[in-house]
């Protein structure tokens, strides 16, 4: 198993066990600073939303990612981390771990959990002394 996939699996399991709050991202995107522009974090959040909706809805519900859509997103948007995601078993495991409510799709909250976990892993990697 790829090191990143293993780290993601461990982190996702921990994160999903202790995270029960859903964030309302629109609420955070509405306030603009005094120059009437979005902050860097607000821009990043808008980009996360746009990336999700770029891939969602091609195979069904426009508010969720099917397994094929998730694979396309991982390959196109996170290919440097996940590679080409050719390992079907690893992809199935990631999908199963992400699908916290076991409905067969990855919704926005589950997607954000993935991005948060990867961000935490990257932060740990780049801040090690």
74: number of Cβ within 10 Å:
21
Report the run of H or E that residue 107 belongs to, with start and end: strand 106-107
104: number of Cβ within 10 Å:
12
Per-residue pLDDT of the chain (129 residues; tens, 9 = 90+): 455 555 555 555 544 444 443 333 344 444 544 556 778 888 888 899 999 999 999 988 899 999 889 889 988 988 877 666 566 787 778 778 888 888 889 999 899 988 988 888 888 888 886
Q: Is the distance from CB of 97 to CB of 13 less than 8 angstroms?
A: yes
The model's pTM: 0.67
């Amino acid at each position: 198993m790829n090191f990143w996939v293993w780290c993601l699996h461990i982190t996702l399991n921990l994160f999903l066990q202790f995270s029960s709050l859903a964030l309302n991202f629109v609420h955070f995107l509405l306030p603009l600073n005094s120059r009437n522009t979005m902050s860097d974090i607000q821009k990043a959040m808008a980009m996360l939303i746009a990336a999700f909706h770029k891939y969602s809805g091609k195979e069904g519900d426009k508010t969720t990612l099917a397994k094929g859509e998730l694979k396309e997103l991982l390959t196109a948007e996170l290919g440097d981390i996940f590679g080409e995601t050719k390992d079907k078993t690893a992809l199935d495991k990631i999908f199963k771990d992400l699908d916290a409510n076991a409905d067969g799709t990855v919704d926005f909250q589950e997607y954000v959990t993935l991005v948060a976990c990867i961000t935490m892993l990257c932060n740990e990697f780049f801040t090690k002394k």
